[in-house]
Every structure is written in C-alpha cells, then in structure tokens.
Amino acid sequence: MTTIRFGLIGLGLMGREFASAAARWGHLTNVDARPVLTAACDTDERAFGWFKQNVPTLEYTTTDYQALLQREDVQAVYCAVPHHLHAQFYTDVIRAGKHLLGEKPFGIDLAANRAILQEIDKNPEVFVRCSSEFPFVPGAVAIIRALREKDFGKMIEVESGLLHSSDLNPKKSINWKRMIEYNGEYGCMGDLGIHVVHIPFRFGWFPSRVNAQLSKIVRERPDGKGGVAPCRTWDNATIYGEVSQQDHRFPITIHTKRIAPGETNTWFLRVIGTRRSMAFSTKYPKTLQVMEYEEGGPQAWQNIDLGYDSAYPTITGSIFEFGFTDSILQMWAAFCDELANGRKKMKQPFYCATPEETHQSHLLFTQALESYGDRA
Ligand SMILES: NC(=O)c1ccc[n+]([C@@H]2O[C@H](COP(=O)([O-])OP(=O)(O)OC[C@H]3O[C@@H](n4cnc5c(N)ncnc54)[C@H](O)[C@@H]3O)[C@@H](O)[C@H]2O)c1
C-alpha cells in the first residue's frame, strides 16, 4: 500500500468530505494507494476543531496556506476554497511541486483557468486533476461501461444536468456562492458545470454552435446582517449545442440550475441512440433505464435496479444502496490509483476530470455567456 501524505486547504463542506473519505479507506478492497491527511489550512481557525477531533493522522494546522506548502512531508494537496482563490492557490500548489486535486470550476474564469494550465505545463512532474464525483455513481458507471463496450448506433441526442433548489427560498441568506466576486460570472455554470460535462467531454462530445438561455430569478437576498444584498450571479442556465462526429451531428443539452423546484442535488444523464439508449438520474438512484432496439423490433424501456456496482469494489454487499459520500470515496480512489499507478495501470479505466477537460468547460461556459450577451 502506497501512502500519499496530503495537505488540505479549505476546511469547509468539501474539505470535511475528503477527510471523511480518507478515514474510511478500508471500505475499498482493491486500491493500493491511500491518502493520509497530515496538514490542514483554513483562515477560519474555528474550522480546526472538527479536524482535530476526527483526524488522528493530523499533525499540523495553519491559517497560512504558504506555510503548508513549505512542508516537505506534504506530497499532495486537496484545495477546496472559493473560486476567486483558485488561480493563485492552485498555481502556488503546483509550483511547490505538490500533486493537486483542485475543486471546480478550476479558476473563476477563462483567464484564471489558463493561468493554472500554464503552471501545469511548466511542472509536468506534478499530477493534477479536478474534483468531479458523479461519474462514480453506479448509474453513471453503467452508462460509461456501455459507452465503451456497446453499440449505441447513431447518436440521436444527449442531455445532462445538475439541479438544485434551495435558492427557491428568497429568504435564504446570500453566501460567497451567490456573489459574483467570489463565485464568478459563470454563476450556476461554474458551480455545477463540470459535473455535467465530465462524461460528455470524456467521450469527445464537445459542442459547437453554442447557444444558452440564462436566468436571474432571485435578484436580492438577505445579507445575514439584517439588510439585503444584490444577487448578481446567474441562477439557471440551459446550454444548447451540436456535436459533430465524423459525418454525423447530434444535439446536446446541458442544464445547470440552482432554482429547479423540488430538486435537491439531481444529476442526470440521457444518452439516446438508434440502437441503444440509456438514462439515469440520482432522483431515482436505484433505477437505470435502458432501451435496446433491433430494427423493426419492439421499443421497450427496461428499468433495472442498480445495486452497489461501483467503479472500485468495496466491502459493501452488491444489493445495497450507494450515496454521495460513496461517490466521493470512489473519486478519491481514482485520484490515488492514477497518481500511484499511472493511467494505464489503474484498477479501472475511468479517471478524474483532467485540467484539459476543465479548460473545455471554461471555453463552453464563456461561449454560453457570450451567446446570451448582456441581457442581465
Ligand atoms: N465536488 C463537489 O460536489 C462540490 C460541492 C460543493 C462545493 N464544491 C467546490 O469546493 C470548493 C469549496 O466549496 P465548499 O462548499 O467546500 O465551500 P465552504 O465555504 O464550505 O469552504 C471553503 C473554505 O475555504 C476557507 N477559506 C477561504 N479563504 C481561505 C484562504 N485564504 N485560505 C485558506 N482557507 C480559506 C473558508 O474559511 C472555508 O472554510 C469550491 O470550489 C466549490 O465549487 C465542490
């Protein structure tokens, strides 16, 4: 078992998820590399308490990420901080020679993303990936396997989305994720987008002729201090595009919505072909929909119960249910597996989102903004 000594920068929602995944590494049965969280950084010292209580391997805490980067015993970093810090922090991590799993959107905008990719080019020995866990949910795993192994015929259309709903409540106080200076012009696309394009991009479905419908629905929110603050980020986006493959073109639709009533964290993917179609949504996490079609034959969708058929095998029985924290663990397994063994010797073939894929996502979101123009 190879151990990878990790420093964590940003001890918020996602930082705790990483610590929790590392703590139950024994869940995985065939991964030969494990993360060991030894150093943690956050400007808010109140965040240290949970980590000190729950991470026995933690040796060092600091409010200064540069101090963490100076530690020679830190080999890799997980960085989960607000978007306006991505370019500075990620380039500093890479320059310090630490491997990096960075959070999306991997730069607040296209220029920030380019700066990160330039630093990666200068430091080719550093391994860098972007966090994106939904491809590790069993329904997505099944679609990815089928896309590799089965004949979908001529592609008719692809649709993917990630839907949230808590912002439907106009009384929900604003936080950095709704402030343009910390979250970025992309708004919901930067927040939710990589989750939705990771699989399409992996299979070469990058759209041209991009046209987007963007919406600002709740334009001000309580500021949490008794007043109100403007809410200038895009709430919802639907991006339409066209994918060209050899002599064939098909439409792709990408939804990222923060105000989709009733949807708590609904990720879905529909891949529709002339011979095979597949659809999965985390709304119905046990159900994989498949239709196989022979010319002239019946057109019947099957609903197949999914068990715990994960990318990396675990101790969990195959009939049991899979959840968000499992997908985070699986994504971390893919990161550590690829870092320790290289892409060709990974224990399963699906690797984490690459910096190039984040760049494609930035190109797409920038085109989406441009297509909508200045209609605020
Ligand atoms: N993969 C996913 O499913 C997923 C889900 C939510 C968020 N995210 C991404 O994770 C990142 C962080 O989001 P979050 O939800 O964990 O946010 P959060 O607000 O819960 O946590 C961010 C943490 O960063 C800390 N921080 C801010 N400035 C800092 C600095 N200068 N130095 C050190 N620490 C600093 C904050 O104090 C806070 O504890 C974002 O890029 C976000 O888009 C990913």
Domain borders along the chain are 2-130, 136-320+349-372
pLDDT of residue 70: 98
Q: What is the pLDDT of residues 286-313, one digit of tens each?
A: 999 999 999 999 999 999 999 999 999 9
9 Cβ closer than 6 Å to some ligand 1 atom? yes
Beta pairing, strands 99-102 & 76-79:
parallel
Q: Do the two domains 2-130 and 136-320+349-372 of this chain adopt the same fold?
A: no
pLDDT of residue 244: 96
Checking if the pLDDT of 376 tops 80, the result is no
Token pair of 226, please? 């008794």
Which helix (H) or strand (E) element contains residue 152?
Answer: none
13 Cβ closer than 6 Å to some ligand 1 atom? yes
254 Cβ closer than 6 Å to some ligand 1 atom? no
CATH class (in words) of the domain with range 136-320+349-372: alpha beta
Structural domain 2-130, CATH architecture: 3-Layer(aba) Sandwich (3.40)
103 Cβ closer than 6 Å to some ligand 1 atom? yes
Checking if the pLDDT of 330 tops 80, the result is yes
pLDDT of residue 33: 98
What spacing in Å lies between the alpha carbon of 130 and ligand 1's midpoint?
14
How many CA atoms, within 13 angstroms, populate the side-chain half-sphere of residue 318? 5
Pocket-testing residue among 42, 65, 173, 196, ligand 1, by greatest number of atoms within 8 A of Cβ: 42
What spacing in Å lies between the alpha carbon of 14 and ligand 1's midpoint?
6
Comparing C-alpha atoms, which of 138, 69, 75 is closest to residue 280? 138
Q: What is the pLDDT of residues 36-57, one digit of tens each?
A: 999 999 999 999 999 999 999 9
pLDDT band for 139, please (50, 70, 90 cuts).
Answer: very high
Q: What is the pLDDT of residues 74-121, one digit of tens each?
A: 999 999 999 999 999 999 999 999 999 999 999 999 999 999 999 999
CA 270 to chain centre: 18
- Relative orientation angle of helices 355-372 and 110-122, to the nearest 10 degrees: 160
What spacing in Å lies between the alpha carbon of 168 and ligand 1's midpoint?
22
14 Cβ closer than 6 Å to some ligand 1 atom? yes
The chain-wide mean pLDDT, for the chain, equals 97
